[in-house]
Structure 1
Amino acid sequence: MTTSLLSAPPATTLRQALLADRARALTQLYRQAFPAVRRLVQRQGGSAQDAQDVFQDALVVFYEQAVLGTLELTASASTYLVSIARHRWQHELRRRARLPNEALPDESDALAAEEPEAAEETAFAVRDYVERLGVKCRDMLLNFYYFQQPLTQIAEANGYRSVRSATVQKFKCLERLRASVRAAFCTETIEY
């Protein structure tokens, strides 16, 4: 795939490139679009990890549209991908504004500064909350975050129709976990 293919390709040509050599096409899209997404997210207060998460979600949406033949490009593929990521990031910012007490990933460094016993106790408490989620959510979160299985593998193992469906379910499970931890934390804080 050449650079000109991604600069202004017809959607059918891009679809063919993705189907012929997905890894190469996605790598080229990553190289072209991710730096712009990272700048966008970091300028608006996000971290490098936030940028990676947003870009991954955008890439999944883009890939599904391209492979299913529903992608209609009016600009370059990288511009379209950055646009999807921009919308995803704006959505995430609105969600965070609604949930100001949510612990953001960057705040996990505070856990490392705690004494080892307190960190171990906190880790045990989180495992307890994960166990309460139910088998399907627990397995999905453990497979993705602990065993670092790709979402494609998780989607196949759990019978999801697409990677996007697995991504959505993972997000819902993570939100349930956050909500239960947040509710317990608020209850503990009030009891003092």
Structure 2
Amino acid sequence: MTASLLSAPPAYTLRQALLADRERALTQLYRRAFPPVRRLVQRQGGSAQDAQDVFQDALVVFYEQVVGNKLVLTASASTYLVSIARHRWQHELRRRARLPHEALPEGVDMAAEETEATLGPAFAVLDYVERLGTKCKNMLLSFYYFQQPLAQIAEANGYRSVRSATVQKFKCLERLRESVRAAFRAETIEY
């Protein structure tokens, strides 16, 4: 894939490049489009890790659109990719603005009882999610909180198929439900 391919509007040539040599094409897209995304995210208060996360999400969306033949480019591929990343980052900023616990200054350590009383019952569920273990926590947060597709979650967590990831997600969700039910039963018995 040549540098001129990145700036050429026809999506079919980009699609062919991605299908022929995906790693090389994505590497060139990364080199060209990531620096502006990083600057954008960091100017708006994000970290380098935030920029990487947003860019990778945008790259997945972009790749699926191009390979699925659902995209007609009217600008360069890197411009379109930066635009997707900008929208993803704005969505992330709005999501963070709705979460009171992320607005707390760093280093503030509140006791669990104070946190639950202050932030409400919705955050009590996060405590149960924490108790599930790293794999289940990552699975449920990725799917429900970050709204990642199961295909992406399966790949990131090393599952052989989307079906395996779906089964694991279901098992984790059932464990979470059972934990909440058990806690609720214990609270109603105690008076």
TM-score category, normalised to shorter length: 0.5 to 0.7
| Structure 2 counterpart of 1:10 | 10
- 1: CA distance between counterparts of 2:33 and 2:139? 29
Q: How does 1:27-66 map to 2 (within 5 A)?
A: 27-66=27-66
- 1: CA distance between counterparts of 2:127 and 2:161? 22
Letter in 2 for 1:28: Q
Deviation at 1:132, TM superposition (A): 2.9
Cα deviation digits, residues 119-160 of structure 1 (max 9, x gap): xxxxxxx99744437x9834747xxxxxxx985364753525
1:138 to 1:46, Cα distance in 2 relative to 1, 3 A: closer
8 A Cα contact 2:154 2:161, kept in partner: no
Letter in 1 for 2:136: C
| Structure 1 counterpart of 2:67 | 67
Q: TM-score, normalised by structure 1?
A: 0.61
Cα deviation digits, residues 3-35 of structure 1 (max 9, x gap): 000012411110010000000000000000000
- 2: CA distance between counterparts of 1:30 and 1:152? 19
Deviation at 1:71, TM superposition (A): 1.1
| Structure 2 counterpart of 1:146 | none
| Structure 1 counterpart of 2:184 | none
- 1: CA distance between counterparts of 2:3 and 2:127? 46
Letter in 2 for 1:22: R
* The structure with more radius of gyration: 2
Structure 2 alignment gaps of length 5 or more: 109-125, 141-151, 181-191
Percent of aligned pairs sharing the same letter: 71
- The alignment covers a number of residue pairs equal to 142
| Structure 1 counterpart of 2:89 | 89
- 1: CA distance between counterparts of 2:53 and 2:28? 18
